[in-house]
């Protein structure tokens, strides 16, 4: 409420015009209860209006004199400035999560998080390290760093039931991350009927999700910034009898991969000795990148669908060469050597192009192929013989 006497030149007033402030140009009194107010709106257009005492409750002075001043709350300004400084702190401190957590990470943990994982956008990563190497610490640093950088708001951790409380304690005590364990009570108390949509930082038990189709339907309706799967080797599938056999846990892994931007698998035993199973496991990270079946597989009844061994491929090459009338003993390596030599002939010795075919990382290897193609060694030997 503003008294009419407070309407002085230069004052900025709310309540004269709807949804905007006006600036007082002049106030002329007519008696003691009426003032003739000349003012201008935000665009500078002048107006004149008679104001009576009954308008006082609707008026409000925004500021006196100028529309800006230095009489604001200093504590509020300091609080806002500090909040903005913290928001941008990661630009000046590349290890901000380390310095704001109660951990002293080892060098290999810093290398994994800051050298490998944070640089990948989006992150689709298999963190395979020995038991006791601190994979939980690495995951906590990753979560903390993404939160600080504003790249993470919703995170789901899926782990065996016996590790849920341990995960919660570690993340709370060392990283100040308030993760909540998904329980039956929390599921039933969900106001929207979908507890996943109401929780931002969640720890869920692996088998609780894999064995419950209703929970998976609700999970499929949500989006996540980061999903972490601990003991991820339990999400297994196998290739047997010419077909892929997926477990319920593996199907859960495929679902989790489809609803998140960043996906992190953690395990100490990613490989069970079967290459086909390992490729299926890696397909959780990127199903389009990896084949569902081996490139060469057997067709006999005993081992149908299994990957061919090196000896089997060697026998196929030898028998095929003999059937084609080739008298020289052939091998896969010799065929590869001949293909590289033919490619060098076709490209006039362009080793860069042929490198894509040969997949040799060192160009010096291809230079040896090229020298053999031109028989440079024998040529130089003959020159030296002539000199002698």
Closest of 71, 16, 44, 45 to residue 7, by C-alpha: 16
pLDDT score, position 308: 61
pLDDT digits (tens, 9 = 90+) for 225-274: 999 999 999 998 887 766 788 899 999 999 999 999 999 999 998 888 78
Report yes or no: 296 and 308 within 8 Å, Cβ to Cβ. yes
Residue range 63-81: average pLDDT? 74
Question: What topology does CATH give the domain 4-63?
Answer: SH3 type barrels. (2.30.30)
Round to the nearest angstrom and report the end-to-end CA distance of the chain: 115
Among 113-117, 180-184, 282-286, name the most confident range.
Answer: 180-184
pLDDT score, position 73: 83
> Predicted confidence band at 297 (pLDDT cuts at 50, 70, 90)?
low
Rounded CA-CA distance 15/235 in Å is 65
Domain boundaries, the chain: 4-63, 90-282, 310-387
Does pLDDT of 162 surpass 80?
yes
Angle at 164 between CA 159 and CA 169, to 5 degrees: 130
Rounded CA-CA distance 323/234 in Å is 47
Question: What topology does CATH give the domain 90-282?
Answer: Rossmann fold (3.40.50)
pLDDT score, position 305: 56
pTM of the full structure: 0.57
Report yes or no: 117 and 141 within 8 Å, Cβ to Cβ. no
Q: What angle separates helix 332-346 from helix 351-358, to the nearest 10 degrees?
A: 150
> Predicted confidence band at 97 (pLDDT cuts at 50, 70, 90)?
confident
- Other CB atoms within a 10 A radius of the CB of residue 48 amount to 11
pLDDT digits (tens, 9 = 90+) for 358-383: 666 567 777 777 777 777 666 666 77
pLDDT score, position 359: 60
Does pLDDT of 46 surpass 80?
yes
Closest of 240, 244, 256 to residue 204, by C-alpha: 256
Does pLDDT of 353 surpass 60?
yes
Does pLDDT of 295 surpass 60?
no
Rounded CA-CA distance 47/29 in Å is 16
Candidate from 24-33, 63-72, 228-237, 324-333 with smallest mean pLDDT? 63-72
Does pLDDT of 53 surpass 60?
yes
pLDDT score, position 219: 95
pLDDT score, position 309: 62
> Predicted confidence band at 171 (pLDDT cuts at 50, 70, 90)?
very high
Does pLDDT of 280 surpass 70?
yes
pLDDT score, position 155: 96
pLDDT digits (tens, 9 = 90+) for 112-135: 999 999 988 889 999 998 888 889
Judge if 4-63 and 90-282 fold alike in CATH terms: no
Residue range 292-303: average pLDDT? 55
Does pLDDT of 276 surpass 90?
no
Does pLDDT of 281 surpass 80?
yes
Report yes or no: 252 and 235 within 8 Å, Cβ to Cβ. yes
């Amino acid at each position: 409420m503003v008294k009419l006497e407070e309407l002085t030149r230069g004052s900025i007033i709310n309540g004269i015009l709807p949804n905007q402030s006006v600036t007082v140009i002049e106030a002329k009194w007519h008696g003691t209860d009426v003032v003739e107010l000349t003012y201008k709106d935000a665009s500078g257009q002048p107006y004149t209006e008679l104001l009576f005492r009954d308008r006082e409750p609707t008026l409000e002075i925004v500021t006196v004199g100028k529309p800006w001043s230095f009489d604001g709350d200093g504590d509020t300004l300091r609080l806002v400035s500090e909040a903005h400084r913290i928001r941008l702190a990661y630009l000046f401190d590349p290890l901000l999560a380390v310095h704001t957590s109660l951990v002293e990470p080892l060098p290999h943990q810093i290398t994994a998080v800051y050298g490998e994982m944070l640089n990948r956008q989006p992150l689709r990563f298999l963190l395979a390290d020995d038991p006791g190497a601190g994979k939980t610490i690495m995951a906590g640093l990753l979560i903390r760093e993404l939160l600080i950088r504003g790249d993470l708001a919703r995170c789901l951790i899926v782990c065996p039931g016996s590790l849920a409380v341990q995960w919660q304690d570690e993340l709370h005590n060392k990283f100040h991350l308030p993760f909540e364990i998904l329980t039956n009570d929390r599921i039933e108390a969900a106001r929207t009927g979908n507890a996943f949509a109401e929780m931002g930082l969640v720890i869920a038990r692996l088998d609780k999700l894999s064995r419950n189709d209703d929970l998976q339907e609700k999970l499929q309706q949500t989006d996540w910034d980061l999903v972490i799967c601990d003991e991820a080797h339990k999400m297994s599938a196998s290739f047997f009898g010419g077909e892929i056999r997926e477990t319920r846990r593996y199907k859960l892994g495929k679902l989790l991969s489809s609803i998140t931007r960043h996906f992190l698998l953690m395990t100490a035993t990613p490989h069970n000795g079967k290459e086909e199973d390992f490729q299926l496991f890696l397909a959780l990270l990127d199903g389009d990148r990896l084949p569902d079946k081996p490139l060469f597989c057997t067709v006999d009844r005993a081992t149908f669908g299994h990957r061919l061994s090196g000896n089997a491929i060697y026998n196929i090459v030898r028998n095929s060469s003999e059937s084609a009338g080739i008298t020289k003993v052939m091998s896969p390596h010799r065929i590869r050597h001949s293909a590289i030599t033919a490619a060098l002939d076709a490209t006039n010795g362009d080793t860069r192009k042929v490198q894509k075919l040969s997949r040799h990382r060192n160009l010096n290897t291809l230079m040896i192929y090229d020298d053999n193609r031109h028989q440079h060694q024998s040529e130089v030997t003959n020159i030296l013989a002539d000199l002698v």
